[in-house]
Amino acid sequence: MPHFSPRHFPSGLISFLLFSTLSCSLMAGEEMRSTLQDQQSVAVTIYNQDLALVKDQRRISLGSGANTLAFRDVSAQIRPETALLRSISTPGKLSVIEQNFDFDLLTPDKLLEKYVGKTVGIIKTNLVTGAETTEPAQVLSVNNGVVLRMADHIETGVPGRIVYPDVPANLRDHPTLVMSLQNSGAVQQDVELSYLTGGLGWKADYVAELNAADDKMDLSGWVTLTNTSGTSYRNARLQLVAGDVNRVTEQMQQIRFTAKMDMAAPAAAPRMAEESLLEYHLYTLDRPTTIAENQTKQVALLSASQIPVSKELVLKGTDYYYQGSYGDLGQKIKVGVFVEFDNKESAKLGMPLPKGTIRVYKKDATGNAQFVGEDSIDHTPRNEKVRLKLGDSFDVTADRKQTDFKTLPNPTKGNTLFESAYEIALKNAKKEAVTVTVQEPVPGDWKMLKSSHEYNKASSNTAVWHITIPAESRTTLSYRVQVKY
Query: 123 pLDDT exceeds 70?
Result: yes
Which of 331, 329, 359, 355 has its CA nearest to residue 343?
355
The pLDDT assigned to 48 comes to 80
Mean pLDDT, to the nearest integer, of 334-342? 96
Residue 261 pLDDT greater than 70, yes or no: no
Residues whose CB is less than 8 angstroms from the CB of residue 75 and which lie 6 or more positions away in sequence, other chains included: 54, 175, 195, 197, 198, 199, 200, 229, 230, 231
- Residue 120: is its pLDDT beyond 70? yes
Whole-angstrom distance, CA of residue 178 vs CA of residue 190? 17
Q: Which helix (H) or strand (E) holds 481?
A: strand 473-484
Q: Enter the DSSP assignment of 346.
A: G
| Identity of the amino acid at 471 | A
Residues 338, 360: contact at Cβ < 8 Å?
Answer: no
pLDDT of residue 105: 65
259 alpha-carbon distance from chain centroid: 12
Closest by CA to 75, choosing from 38, 120, 42, 124, is 42
Q: Does the structure show a pLDDT above 80 at 139?
A: yes
Where is pLDDT greater, at 407 or 6? Answer: 407
Q: What pLDDT is stored for residue 249 in this prediction?
A: 54
Going by C-alpha positions, the residue among 19, 182, 171, 202 that lies closest to residue 107 is 171
> Is 4's pLDDT higher than 90?
no
Range in 94-108, 158-172, 256-270, 296-310 the model is least confident about: 256-270
Position 256 confidence tier, pLDDT thresholds 50, 70, 90: very low
**pLDDT on residue 12:** 39
Identify the top-confidence range among 103-117, 131-145, 339-353, 434-448: 434-448
Q: How large is the average pLDDT for residues 173-200? A: 90
Separation between Cα atoms, residue 460 and residue 439, nearest integer Å: 13
The pLDDT value given to residue 271: 57
Query: 171 vs 319, which has greater pLDDT?
Result: 319
Number of neighbouring beta carbons within 10 Å of residue 364: 8
- Of the listed ranges 189-193, 250-254, 255-259, the one predicted with least confidence: 255-259
Highest mean pLDDT among 59-68, 279-288, 423-432: 423-432
Q: Looking at the predicted structure, is the pLDDT value of residue 83 above 60?
A: yes
pLDDT score, position 274:
72
pLDDT computed for residue 171 by the predictor: 65
Domains in the chain, please, with CATH?
6-40+59-196 (no CATH), 310-347+385-484 (2.60.40)
Mean pLDDT of the chain: 84
Query: Is residue 7 classed as helix, strand or coil in its secondary structure?
Result: helix
pLDDT at 155 over 50: yes
Mean pLDDT of 254-275: 44
Please report the pLDDT score of residue 175 as a whole number: 79
Instruction: Tell me which of 87-101, 233-247, 425-439 is least confident.
Output: 233-247
Q: Are 227 and 199 in contact (CB under 8 A)?
A: yes
Residue 128: its pLDDT value, please? 83
pLDDT of residue 24: 39
Identify the pLDDT of residue 170.
66
Residue 422 has pLDDT above 90, yes or no: yes
| Average confidence (pLDDT) over 42-60 | 92
Would you say 426 and 475 are in contact if contact means Cβ atoms under 8 Å apart? yes
The predicted-structure confidence for 435-475, as pLDDT tens digits, reads as follows: 999 999 999 999 999 999 999 999 999 999 999 999 999 99
Q: What is the mean pLDDT of residues 414-419?
A: 86
Segment 59-68 mean pLDDT: 92
